[in-house]
Structure 1
Amino acid sequence: MRPDGWYLTEDVEGFLARAGGFLSSRPALHTLPLTVTATLRTRGANVYGTEAPLFGWLERAGSVCATFFRTPPRRLNLTPLTVEQADALAARLAELGRCLPGVSADDESAAAFAAGWQHHTGAAPKLRARKRLYRLGALVPPRPGPEGRGRIANERDREQLVLWYREFTTELKEPASTDAGSWADTRIASGRLTLWETPDGTPVSMAGVTPKVANQIRVAPVYTPTPLRGRGYAGAATAEVSRAALAAGATEVVLFADLANPTSNALYQRIGYLPVTDFADYDFTPATPRGG
């Protein structure tokens, strides 16, 4: 039996060989590491950037009880940790000379790691956003719904999708995971993006899904241009992709909503999504960890 503690690697296959079972044991809560590692396996380690991703798992008595991953330049992402576990990870990464832009995790784990990182590096954390993870219960299509229909996006929609993706990432104020053209091409090719269009065929909203991993599918992104909001288009598009996810055999259909947006949170609950837990994103001021 190997000693207890954190184990780190840049090898996604090695990480999943040891921690894949742990991640699959709670597919809704672990939706992000499941889908990100699946993307890295199919599209290569450089899909999110030129710097190698980093993975880690925590062993206790021969079993994995927590994990993390980071795909630079994005924040560190954690599964739930105790205060002691979060502090030990912060100390380990600081000793290795790792510089982190921030952390994303459930509320308690994110706050614990942020405090540990500040203690070990001097980098001050700043709360950036809070999100709520929802899982689908019984789907309730919006009634009355907007006129129109949902359809899978195709090559003729590429220019529209590129524009909307740029608007979406600008609104989030987050670094895009890939360029807009590649993002659109990948989703068109895989059929993972649905448009809601009006009766005259005009696209007015989009909703995407991640590939099915461990029988879970995450709805992302959902976007309606600002001038078209408040007409029920996003709800209709989300209900359409949620129905399709269930038809594809997903036993867990999940999504994240920004807690600063009460409209979207209320919308998702009206169509059958139930709260799972709250997440927090912290940004760290630039600092050089001790060690390394």
Structure 2
Amino acid sequence: MEFRHYQDVQEFAVKAEPVVSEREDVYSLFFGVLQAIKAGRYDTPFMATIEEEGQVLALFQMTPPHPLNLIFTNDKRLEECMDLLIRNLLELEIEMNSIISLKPWAYLFSEKWEVKTGMTRKVLMDQGLYRLDTVDETLVPSPGSWRFALQGDCPLIEKWFNLFEEDAGLPLTAKKDVKKRVESFVANQEIFLWEHDKVVVSMMKKARPTNHGVTVSLVFTPKEQRKKGYARTMVAAGTKELLKKYDFCVLYTDLMNPTANKIYQEIGYKRIADSVQLGFR
């Protein structure tokens, strides 16, 4: 069993893509971020595998300051792989403040990490992963229509970006970084807006496309426009548009928010996995 730390994303992709392609929906986050690394969007990614006789037993990926993503392919060798990973993280002095993974893997890692480092874990996001192949056409839409965001919408989207982070309990991104990211989102037609009576009332974002699927993220409606069905209608319409190009859509939900989980299921999203992001301090 060998831990391999990769510097070349193309070499890493040769090992990683066959694994994540087998469960493209469940591993959509890992797969989508890998495509972004290949496109040069991250400067200092951490990429590693655990391999034995040509077989990939585990995959690891991190784009600081985002969490370390963990995938394991052999449950019988799970604890061995965890121990080898932790030993190498410490030896390589990899700065790692949080992880994201399927729940059983994340909690087992955290138990071992706490013993080795003395750190304590905290649940940052308890998430359900949902997949949709067909939108429920019986839904009654809220009034209005969708459109792609335009350059003039950027100030509003920047404001909503930080409000979304506040609602999710995430660290706030610096305003200059938000501005740069939103400009890129809009230029690439990644932001969908729902508009009613010439007022933008809700938004969603296309994110992390893979070979056959794409992620819906950054779903946000300001407080004064909530409980009117706008978010559900926006996601339904946006998802339907994305399905013209992709076979399926996935999204992550906060399991502590029953309203969000309910509306996504009404659209046709089905829960396929449970994921958790754990922070360490």
TM exceeding 0.5: yes
Distance 2:167 2:119 in 1: 26
Cα-Cα RMSD = 1.9
* Mapped contact 2:28–2:208 kept (Cα < 8 A): no
Say if 2:207 is the partner of 1:210: yes
Structure 1 counterpart of 2:251: 255
Aligned residues: 275
Structure 1 counterpart of 2:12: 15
Structure 1 counterpart of 2:85: 89
Match of 2:177 among 179, 201, 204: 179
Shift of 1:195: 0.3
- Helix, strand or coil at the partner of 2:39: helix
Match of 2:58 among 63, 66, 71: 66
Say if 2:51 is the partner of 1:53: no
Shift of the 99–188 alpha-carbon distance from structure 1 to 2, 3 Å rule, reads closer
- Helix, strand or coil at the partner of 2:10: helix
Identical amino acids, percent of aligned pairs: 28
Say if 2:26 is the partner of 1:29: yes
* Mapped contact 1:219–1:254 kept (Cα < 8 A): yes
- Helix, strand or coil at the partner of 1:205: strand
- The 5-angstrom pairing of residues 147-158 of structure 1 reads 147-158=143-154
Amino acid in structure 2 at the alignment position of 1:40: I
Shift of 1:5: 2.6
My pick for the range that moved more, 73-82 or 204-213, is 73-82
* Mapped contact 1:135–1:252 kept (Cα < 8 A): yes
Shift of the 141–84 alpha-carbon distance from structure 1 to 2, 3 Å rule, reads farther
Structure 2 counterpart of 1:6: 3
Structure 2 counterpart of 1:77: 69
Shift of 1:165: 1.0
My pick for the range that moved more, 162-171 or 217-226, is 162-171
- The 5-angstrom pairing of residues 78-227 of structure 1 reads 78-80=70-72, 82-141=78-137, 143-175=139-171, 176=173, 179-198=177-196, 200-227=197-224
Shift of 1:28: 0.6
* Mapped contact 1:80–1:106 kept (Cα < 8 A): no
Match of 2:273 among 251, 271, 277: 277
Shift of 1:207: 0.8
* Mapped contact 1:27–1:252 kept (Cα < 8 A): no
1:30-88, Cα deviation, whole Å (9 max, x unpaired): 11111112222224333xxxxx2201122233122321111112221112463432232
Match of 2:241 among 230, 235, 244: 244
- Helix, strand or coil at the partner of 2:211: coil
Distance 1:83 1:65 in 2: 11
1:114-158, Cα deviation, whole Å (9 max, x unpaired): 011112222122223210000004311463221001111111211
Shift of the 60–214 alpha-carbon distance from structure 1 to 2, 3 Å rule, reads farther
Distance 2:23 2:207 in 1: 17
- Helix, strand or coil at the partner of 1:129: strand
Amino acid in structure 1 at the alignment position of 2:28: T
Distance 1:124 1:211 in 2: 31
Amino acid in structure 2 at the alignment position of 1:11: D
TM-score normalised over the length of structure 2: 0.91
* Mapped contact 2:57–2:81 kept (Cα < 8 A): no
Runs of 4+ that moved beyond 4 A: none
Amino acid in structure 1 at the alignment position of 2:230: Y
* Mapped contact 2:103–2:274 kept (Cα < 8 A): yes
* Mapped contact 2:30–2:61 kept (Cα < 8 A): yes
My pick for the range that moved more, 273-282 or 175-184, is 175-184
